[in-house]
Amino acid sequence: MGRTVPVQGSRVEDGTTPTAPTVFPVMPCNSGTGTDVTLACLATGFSPSAVSFTWTKGDVALTDSIQYPPVLKDNLYSGVSQIRIPRNDWENRASYKCKVDHAAGNKEVNFIKPNVIYQLPNLTMMTSEENEQVTFSCLANNFAPNVFDFNWLKDSANINTDLAFTMPPKAVKTTKGTVYSAASFLTLPVSNVHSYDKFTCNFKLGKGQKQLTTNITQEYSPSDKCAGDMTIIPPSVQDMLYYRTGKIRCEVNVAEPNKVISVSWTDEKLNVLMNNTDEGAEVRGQRFVLDLEITYNEWNSGIRRVCQLDHQDLLTDPLKKQTPPSVFMLAPVKQTKDNKVTLTCYVKNFNPKEIYVTWLIDDKESKHDFNTTNSMKINGDYYAYSHLTVPLNEWEESEHVYSCLVYHEAIDENTNIVRSITQHTSQQTTMVNLNMKFPDMCKA
């Protein structure tokens, strides 16, 4: 039998009907250290106080247990017995039993080390920026057991743990056992984070010899935000139609204002019309606002204005890529049923995508309807089609010359690409190609 710890004083019984105990096994929640493991057998809610505990391993009785005196609370007693067993037996999942003998009935519980699942999580890392702060989020999904730790590194150096916050884990029961998910958040001032700093979220699972680790690393790249957070606001209808003048606004938000070289309005040739140092420009923290005046005539004529951000983290300037188009007049398509002919001007390999195509008949503006498709992108450049539809009898019975004129910023301002076709030339060749200079009146 085990040892019983003596207690001074007498026990008082009230003569009520005996109540059997409820018994709970108490076992270690982690592997711990040392050569022994302590198990406890807890009996609660019994009366009278007389109770005895017996421990066995298989069919062998164990005699080195300790039994503590029962404690009275609300007219019922609680008692506990402990035993120390070899750690090797516990780790090898040997089975132990605690039997509680009481006048109102006997109870017993079994002790065996739980079969713990060891499962590393899937790690996900994200970054967000707000109010001059950068927050790194590390999400660990579906790990077990619920013994873990996060730590953060910047370029392989540990970061002060006071800067990080870990959310309590959430448990989900599966057919293989319970798995957990947790998250850690690291928040730093924007001024302490630089482009391409490497941040690592390190996740440690378990303790002692069975501890497992995994990590995920991400480079901080603020250039994505500063390159994309740009908004252009057109002038109001009232300003254009009533006052005949207005302002186009460019709003730019960046993560690191100290890396901004300039924010500017330019014309189609990238000549600067206004920049962030000029009077009227508003610069407030991460926000740049430039209002450029524009007249109704400029707006109505389709004049181009470009809002441009020059930033240290922008490696290329796509605005400066200009490729003039190649233009081809395709063979006409007769629509006999509708008594029409469709002429097609094929414009390809140009950049940027803005382009304007118009049609002339005998060097005069076409009185027939035409349309031009939106620019479509392929292999980094753009292409488009323009279609002119004319009556079939006009096409077959006349000597008219039909021409498409192509305007693009990569073409010299005094030169436009022209492709022409007639009913007779279309039978022998699919196109006539000319590059011509036109007087100003032809470009209106």
Q: What is the mean pLDDT of the chain?
A: 83
| % the chain with pLDDT above 70 | 86
User: Nearest-CA neighbor of 121 among 50, 212, 20?
Assistant: 212
**Whole-prediction pTM value?**
0.37
Whole-number pLDDT of residue 131: 74
Domains and CATH numbers, the chain: 3-111 (2.60.40.10), 122-221 (2.60.40.10), 226-319 (2.60.40.10), 326-443 (2.60.40.10)
Q: In terms of residues, how long is the chain? A: 444
Q: Most distant CA pair in the chain: distance in Å?
A: 130
Whole-number pLDDT of residue 155: 87
Express each pLDDT in 162-211 by its tens digit. 888 888 899 888 887 789 999 999 998 888 887 778 899 999 988 766 77
Calculate the alpha carbon distances from 54 to 43, 70, 109, 312 in Å: 12, 15, 11, 77
> Residue 296 pLDDT > 70, yes or no?
yes
- SS3 for 70-137, per residue? CEEECCEEEEEEEEEEEHHHHHCCCCEEEEEEECCCCEEEEECCCCCCCECCEEEEEEEEECCEEEEE
Q: How confident is the model at residue 156 (pLDDT cuts 50, 70, 90)?
A: confident
> Residue 8 pLDDT > 50, yes or no?
no
Whole-number pLDDT of residue 11: 44
Lowest mean pLDDT among 54-68, 308-322, 396-410, 420-434: 420-434
Please give the backbone phi and psi of residue 332, each rounded to the nearest 5 degrees, phi first: -65, 150
Express each pLDDT in 30-74 by its tens digit. 656 788 999 999 999 999 999 999 999 988 999 899 999 999 999
What do you get for the CA distance between the two ends of the chain, in Å?
A: 111
Whole-number pLDDT of residue 29: 67
Whole-number pLDDT of residue 284: 85
User: Nearest-CA neighbor of 247 among 321, 305, 175, 196?
Assistant: 305
Express each pLDDT in 207-224 by its tens digit. 766 778 888 887 776 544
Region 222-232: mean pLDDT is 60
Please give the backbone phi and psi of residue 319, each rounded to the nearest 5 degrees, phi first: -65, -25
Q: How confident is the model at residue 312 (pLDDT cuts 50, 70, 90)?
A: confident
